[in-house]
A and B are shown apart, each in its own frame.
Chain A
Amino acid sequence: MAAVQETVDRVKSVDVDAYKYGFVSDIESEKAPKGLNEDIVRFISAKKNEPVWLTEWRLEAYRLWLTMREPDWARVSYPRINYQDLYYYSAPKNSPGPKNLDEVDPELLRTYEKLGIPLREQEILAGVQERRVAVDAVFDSVSVATTFKAELAKAGVIFCPISEAVHSHPELVKKYLGSVVPVSDNYYATLNSAVFSDGSFVYIPPGVRCPMELSTYFRINEQNTGQFERTLIIADKGSYVSYLEGCTAPKRDENQLHAAVVELIALDDAEIKYSTVQNWYPGDSEGKGGIYNFVTKRGDCFGARSKISWTQVETGSAITWKYPSCILRGDNSRGEFYSIAISNGRQQVDSGTKMIHLGKNTTSRIISKGISAGRSNNTYRGQVLAQKRASNARNFTNCDSLLIGETCGAHTIPYIEAKNASAVFEHEATTSKISEDQLFYCMQRGLSAEEATALIVNGFVRDVLQQLPMEFAVEAQKLISISLEGSVG
C-alpha cells in the first residue's frame, strides 16, 4: 500500500496551483457593460458590424434562451451561475480586429510567446520545425492574429476569424452557421448563439488537402468574462483538414464561464480531424476558481464516405461538460472519438460523445481513457444510436477508467440504442487502479513511484495519444505528467 500511498500523497501535494499558464497579461481592454439583455446582444453584433440577419439570429437565440433551463443531468455540481454578473464582450483595446502581425500589441505577442504559441511567421519559417501550423489566436472575445493566411489562400483554404468570414464569405456562414448545432440545441449553445464573440472559420475547397495544420489558441484573460467562441469548419467534397485547439486561462479565484460551440461539416469523401488539448485553469486544490467549460461540439458527416475524428486531451477546467459528437448522416461515413480525461484536485469532468448513426453502413469508434486522482470525479457519458434506416451500423466502444487514490470517483454511463436489426454494437468498459505489482516491478528497475505512475498512465492512454498530431502528442504527454505528478522531472 505504501508505494501507492506515496504516489497519492504526491498527487495531493501537486497542486493544481502549479498551473504554469496562470499569469495575467496587463492589456487594456474594452468591455460591454456587465449583464445580458437585448441591448448587449445588439452591442456585440454592432461592434462586429454584422448584417441584419445575424443580429436577428442572435436576438432570436437570446429570446429562446430566456425560456430555457440549465441542464442538470450531468454528474457535476456548482453554485448557480449569475448570468447577469458576467461581461459578455471584452476586447484588447488597441486591436479592435485582426491585423497584420506588425500592428499587434507587443504585449499580446509576448503573451502568446509565453504560452509557447508561435505567432510570428518569419520565426517559424526560420526555425527548425518541420511541420508548420497556422494559428488563429483568440484573446478573450476577439481574434488577435491569424498566421499563414496568404499561403493558405494560395491553396484556396479560407482560415480567418468568424467575424471576418461573416463579411468576406457571407453565403458560407449563412448556409452553415447553426446547421449542425441548431440555435435551440441546448442552454449553453443557445446562449453562445446569442452572444458569441469570435472564433475560427475554416473552409477547405473540393479536393484540397490543407497544406498545414490549422490551429486556434484560446486565451481568457479578463476577469468576470465569459468566453463564447464559435468555430465553423467546412470540408468540401474530397478535402482534408487537421485542426488543433488549445486553451489556457489565468489563475483567478472566481469561476469563469466558457461556453463555446464548434460545428464541423464534412461533405462527400471529406475528412476532418479535430484535436483539442484543453488546459483551462482547473481551480486550486480546494476547488476555488477555475473555468466552467460548457462546450457543444458536433460534427455532421453530411456526405457519403465522409469522416470526422475527434481527439481530446482534457486536463484543465474546474468543470468539464463536453460531448464532441458525430452525426453519421452520409452513407458509409465514419465517426471517431478518442479521449483522455484527467481529473485531479476538485475537478469535475462529465464528458463523452454521441455517435448518431443515420446513414447506411456507417461506422463509429470510441476510445475513452479516464484518470481520476485527488478528490475529483470523472464521468464518461456516451450515446451510440442506430436509427431505423441505419442498416449495418457498426460501433466499437472501449472506455477504461483508472483511479489513483481512494477519494476520487470514476463513472461510466453509456447509452447504447439499436433500432435497426443489422446493427452491431460492442461496448466494453473497465475500472481499475495501477497495480502494486506493476509499480514494484518498475521501481525495482529504478523508477521512482511518481515516474512509475507516469509511465504506466502514459501506457494506459497510449491508444489515444497516438491519434494526436506529433507536436500535440508531445505536449499532451508532458501535460499528463504535470497534471498527475508535479514532482516528476
Chain B
Amino acid sequence: MIEIRNLHAEIDGKKIINGLSLIVKDGEVAAIMGPNGSGKSTLSYVISGRVGYEVTGGEILLNGESILEMNAAERASKGVFLAFQYPLEIPGVTTMTFLKACLNAQRKSRGEAELTTPDFIKRVKTGADKLGVPQEMLRRALNVGFSGGEKKRMEVLQMSLLEPTFAILDETDSGLDIDALRIVSEGVNALRDPKRSFLVITHYQRLLDYIVPDTVHVMSKGQIVKTGGKDLALELEANGYRDYVGEAA
C-alpha cells in the first residue's frame, strides 16, 4: 500500500505539487486524470525518486515505510516501478543485458540470490512471448530504433520481470494505436494481483476502457481535487475538466 500525505514538491524552485494526499491500497488500480500541466508526471517522478524533484513537505510511505530518503535504485528494489511515458534509449546495451543487470541488482539489494542464466532466459522468454515481444528485439540495444508501441511493450515486459509491488504507468497509452493499446493493457491486466497496486496516469479516458480502475482521482494544480469510481472517468470524458480545475485555487 502506498500512502502520500500532504506532499509538496518543486523543481528549480517552482512549486508543482501542492499538498497532495493519496492512498492506493494493495490490489487497487487507481487512475489519476487531469489536464496538461496539473503535475501528473511530476508526481510519478517524485514517487520514483528522480533527482531534481525536491520534496519540501509531506510524506510518502510504502507499506508504512518512508521512501523519501531513498534514491531511485533503492525505491526500485523496494518495489516501486515507473513505466515511462518516453522510455530512454541505451545505445550499445542489449535489452537482455539490461534486464539481467536490473533484475539481479534488485535481487541483490533484497538479499536474494542472483538468477542463473538459464533461469533468467526462461523468465524473459515466457514474459516476452506473452507480450508478443520477438526474441530478435531482446538482442537489440535497449529501445534503440524501437517503435513507440515496441517501447511501451518493453516497459510492460520489464514490469512483469521485476514484479513490483507498486507500479506507476505514466501516459502509457500515448502514441499507441488501438492494437498496441490492447496488447499493452492485457499485459498490465495479467499482472493485477491482490498484493500489487497500480497508479495509472492518463489524460484520456480511452485507456481506462482497457485497464478498468477501482478508483479515479482528478488532479489539478498539484492536488487531488476529486475522487470517485470508474464512472468519474466517463463523466470527465463527456464534460471535460472544467468543473474541477477551479476547485484547487
Contacts and interface: CB of A to CB of B under 8 A. Distances in A.
In the complex they form, do A and B come into direct contact, defined as C-beta atoms under 8 angstroms apart? yes
A447 B90 CA distance: 14
Contacts of A437: 88
B87 interface: yes
A462 B94 CA distance: 10
A436 B51 contact: yes
B87 A441 contact: yes
Contacts of A443: 49, 71-73, 76
Contacts of A3: 51, 71-72
Nearest to B80: A444
Contact of A448 (B73, B91, B93): B73
Contact of A440 (B51, B89, B90, B91): B51
Interface string A422-455: 0000000000000111101111111111011001
B197 interface: no
A452 B98 CA distance: 10
A444 B92 contact: no
A462 B92 contact: yes
Given A438-B89, A442-B90, A446-B103, 17 more contacts: A3-B51, A3-B72, A440-B50, A441-B84, A441-B90, A443-B76, A444-B82, A445-B76, A445-B106, A446-B106, A448-B105, A451-B73, A451-B101, A459-B91, A459-B141, A460-B91, A460-B92
Given A441-B84, A444-B48, A446-B102, A459 B73 contact: no
B20 interface: no
Contact of B76 (A1, A435, A444, A462): A444
Nearest to B50: A440
A463 interface: yes
A447 B92 contact: no
B79 to A, nearest CB: 10
Interface in B145-165: 158, 162
Given A436-B51, A441-B88, A459-B141, A446 B93 contact: no
A456 B143 CA distance: 13
Contacts of B141: 459
Nearest to B109: A446
A2 interface: yes
A1 B12 CA distance: 12
A451 B100 CA distance: 12
Contacts of A29: none
B52 interface: yes
Given A1-B52, A446-B109, A440 B93 contact: no
Nearest to A451: B105
Interface string B61-101: 00000000001110111001110100111111100011001
A461 interface: yes
B90 A444 contact: no
A445 B158 contact: yes
A276 B38 CA distance: 55
Nearest to B161: A445
A438 B88 contact: yes
Given A441-B84, A443-B76, A447-B102, A461 B51 contact: no
B90 A1 contact: no
A458 interface: yes
Contacts of A447: 73, 101-102, 105
B87 to A, nearest CB: 7
B150 to A, nearest CB: 16
Given A443-B76, A444-B72, A445-B158, A463 B92 contact: yes
A460 B91 CA distance: 7
A438 to B, nearest CB: 5
Contacts of A448: 73, 105
A445 B106 CA distance: 8
Contacts of B97: 455
Contacts of B90: 438, 441-442, 455-456, 459
B101 A455 contact: yes
Task: From A438, A441, A446, name the one whose CB has the most chain B CB atoms within 10 angstroms.
Answer: A446
B225 to A, nearest CB: 28
B92 A446 contact: no
B73 A446 contact: yes
A440 B92 contact: no
Nearest to B91: A459
Contacts of A451: 73, 101, 105
B97 to A, nearest CB: 8
A436 B52 CA distance: 10
A445 B93 contact: no
A197 B75 CA distance: 58
7 contacts: A435-B88, A442-B98, A444-B49, A446-B77, A446-B109, A447-B105, A456-B93
10 cross-chain pairs, A with B, having the tightest CB-CB distances, nearest first: A459-B92, A462-B92, A459-B93, A443-B72, A446-B106, A445-B102, A446-B76, A441-B88, A443-B73, A3-B51
